[in-house]
Amino acid sequence: MICNEINVFMRTIKHKHPLAIRWAHWINFPVLTIMIWSGMLIYWADPEYSITISGHTFVRFFPGWFYTFFNIPHRLAEGMAFHFLFMWFFAINGFLYVLYTVFTGEWRQLVPGRHSFKEAWLVLLHDLHIRKTLPPQDKYNAVQRIIYTSIIGMGLGSLITGLAIYKPVQFHWLTWLCGGYYLARVEHFILTIGYVLFFVIHIIQVILGGWNNFSSVITGFEIVDNKSVSIIKVEHEDEKPNE
């Protein structure tokens, strides 16, 4: 038996995102994209929404160039066929995600607490470079808690408003809950706009968060200290014949 001193670089990693949550996240991304795209193919057939205040139209959903750019016109049937297939994946994936967070207790990290709304304000001020310090951060900060819980609420909202439009007679109580067929369609549309806004902010935050943060959504872990330590290893010679 001999003693060797080897430099082994040890780092501390933090297990951040469980596998199930990473799966749910990366399944949801393309599925939601397809839902939004096929939803656009459907919406085009009756594109009546705009933001109009006292006769002045600020935003029209959507201008002609938008439809041309994304090759949307005259694809209603195709849009419906895609939408009514991928709705299953969207719903099942969301359902499994919620089930997972409930049964593992992960929801405690995700649902806003009593102080979240006050803290969220401080986080916002910090992110806008108005305030220097951050409130003590947990796995998810207050803003993240509010947003990540809202987005699940929005998913449920899309499911409910979607069913209210899809089968307004069989699920008439859902349609009633949404304030009727017409409003259910408006709400379904607004939620979609909400996802797009979420996506834009999410991407900005991911870029600002840096590589280590981004890669943790793929690997599950994040490196928390970069100190390398030199340790003494005691090994049998026959285990390391080429040493």
Partner 1 sequence: MKNLMNKNNMEELSDKKINRRRFVSFATFLGLSGIAYGGWRWLYNSPAEISGITAGAKKPLRRALNQTELIVRKTYSNDHLVKTYPVSKAAKKVRVNSTIGMNDKNFKAGDWLLTVHKTNEAPLQVTLEDIMALPKTEIVYDFKCVEGWDQIQHWGGVKFSDFIKHYQLEDQAKLQYVGFATPDKKYYVGVDMPAAMHPQTLLAYEVNAKPLPLEHGLPLRLIIPVKYGIKNLKRIGSISFSDQRPPDYWADRGYDYYSGL
Which span sits near partner 1 by CB under 8 A: 111-119, 122-130, 152-160, 216-224?
216-224
Q: What is the C-alpha to C-alpha distance for residues 220 and 19, in angstroms, rounded to an integer?
A: 7
Instruction: Tell whether residue 8 is a contact of partner 1 (CB under 8 A).
Output: yes
- CB pairs under 8 A, 24+ apart, for 10-13? 10/228, 10/229, 10/231, 11/223, 11/225, 11/226, 11/227, 11/228, 12/223, 12/224, 12/225, 13/221, 13/222, 13/223, 13/224
Q: 82 or 97: whose CB is closer to partner 1?
A: 82
Partner residues linked to 176 by β-bridges: none
Instruction: Tell whether residue 42 is a contact of partner 1 (CB under 8 A).
Output: yes
Residue 61 CB, nearest approach to partner 1 (Å): 12
- Which ranges of 73-171 would DSSP assign to H, the alpha helix? 76-104, 107-110, 116-127, 142-166
Q: 8 or 197: whose CB is closer to partner 1?
A: 8
| Amino acid type, 29 | F
Residue 168 CB, nearest approach to partner 1 (Å): 5
Residue of 182, 219, 200 lying closest to 48 (CA atoms)? 182
| Amino acid type, 108 | R
Distance of CA 133 to the CA centre of its chain: 26
Residue 13 CB, nearest approach to partner 1 (Å): 5
Residue list 74-93, contact with partner 1 (CB under 8 A): 76-78, 80-82, 84-85, 88
Which span sits near partner 1 by CB under 8 A: 38-46, 116-124, 142-150, 197-205?
38-46
Q: 30 or 153: whose CB is closer to partner 1?
A: 30
The site for partner 1 (CB under 8 A) is made up of 8-16, 26, 30, 34, 42-43, 45-46, 48, 76-78, 80-82, 84-85, 88, 167-172, 180-182, 185, 215, 218-221, 223-224, 228
